[in-house]
Structure 1
Amino acid sequence: MKLSFWLNGVYRHDDVEPDTLLLDFLRDKGCYSVKRGCETANCGLCTVLMDGKPVLSCSTLALRAEGKKIVTMEGMQKEAEEFGAFLADEGAEQCGFCNPGFIMNVFAMEKELENPSEEDVKEYLAGNLCRCSGFVGQTRSILKYLEHKKSQKKEEAEE
């Protein structure tokens, strides 16, 4: 079947089998940040943004991307590097295997929630699993990152 969609800002036309999962399709297109973890839609490793909303690509058919804008971490390198520095500063990067899906959810949360509390952050990211930590460092890094972004917006508004 034909599939037309945006992938990381590039409009694409591709052929896809009707039963192909979005995860497999994206990895075939070189988006290796999209990872297979639990295969039960419980770990968040496969998270991508579809029209700005987090989607578990392991349980989404590729054909659902028809006409949509799909963003993986490959399409957000600058933003990922900026947030990654906050993770590293808090010692929260650990092995890094869960980071791509985790980071994609942080970006979605940043757009969706205004001034989230620590509890809001924990609730929003409840579907992301990390085998290395208890999310204490990640939570600290997110709160510091969001505060940094808020102060950046305030400075830009004052200019």
Structure 2
Amino acid sequence: MRFIVNGVERELEVPPHRLLSELLHDLGLNVPPAPCCDGDCGAGMVLVDGMPVEAGLTLAWRARGRAVETAEGLAPPGSPVARAFAAAGADACPHCTPGVLVAAAQALRVNPWITEDEARAALMGNLCRCGGYVPQVAAILAAAGEIQTGGGA
């Protein structure tokens, strides 16, 4: 199967039953399987051709010929989103952070002038086990401020 992951073309043998989260994990990416078992938590969210997909519930072959973006590709270390999440302490949870980073980066890609209400709405598909979205929303707004002043995405 040939596909693009975070801008890099890959060609791999993929069994028909393999999940996209397993395949991405094998490539060294932090894409957790759906810890909720039904995809409602958003933890395993990735973008496939720009659309959000729960990687823990998607067969890998469905990404054939497509572009897949993970948290590592959308919010790499040193990017405004990664820096803002680290500064706000919004990246501490290994369960929800990858999906939250995908949602945040995608929201900022679509609208770098995002408001607090829009940032909250962008996170609606992600359940935070820690119980609060305050640091994540603050991080999105901080990243937006950096992007608006020319800090890149």
Q: State the TM-score, normalized to the length of structure 2.
A: 0.84
CA drift of 1:26 comes to: 1.4
- For residue 130 of structure 2, what is the amino acid of its counterpart? C
1:90-131 residue CA offsets vs partner (Å, 9 max, x unmatched):
233343432121111111111223522222221121111111
Q: In structure 2, list runs of 5 or more residues that go unmatched.
A: none
Q: In structure 1, list runs of 5 or more residues that go unmatched.
A: none
CA distance in 2, matches of 1:113, 1:55: 20
RMSD: 2.3
Give the conservation status (yes or no) of the 8 Å contact 2:2–2:64.
yes
Match of 1:61 among 55, 59, 62: 59
Name 1:26's counterpart in structure 2.
24
Instruction: Indicate whether 1:70 and 2:68 are aligned.
Output: yes
Name 2:137's counterpart in structure 1.
139
CA distance in 2, matches of 1:73, 1:89: 17
CA drift of 1:22 comes to: 0.8
Indicate the structure with greater helix content: 1
Q: Identical aligned pairs, as a percentage?
A: 34
CA distance in 2, matches of 1:141, 1:74: 17
Of the two, which has the highest radius of gyration?
1
Q: How many residues in Structure 1 have an aligned counterpart in Structure 2?
A: 151
CA drift of 1:151 comes to: 1.4
Give the conservation status (yes or no) of the 8 Å contact 2:19–2:58.
yes
CA drift of 1:145 comes to: 0.9
Q: State the TM-score, normalized to the length of structure 1.
A: 0.81
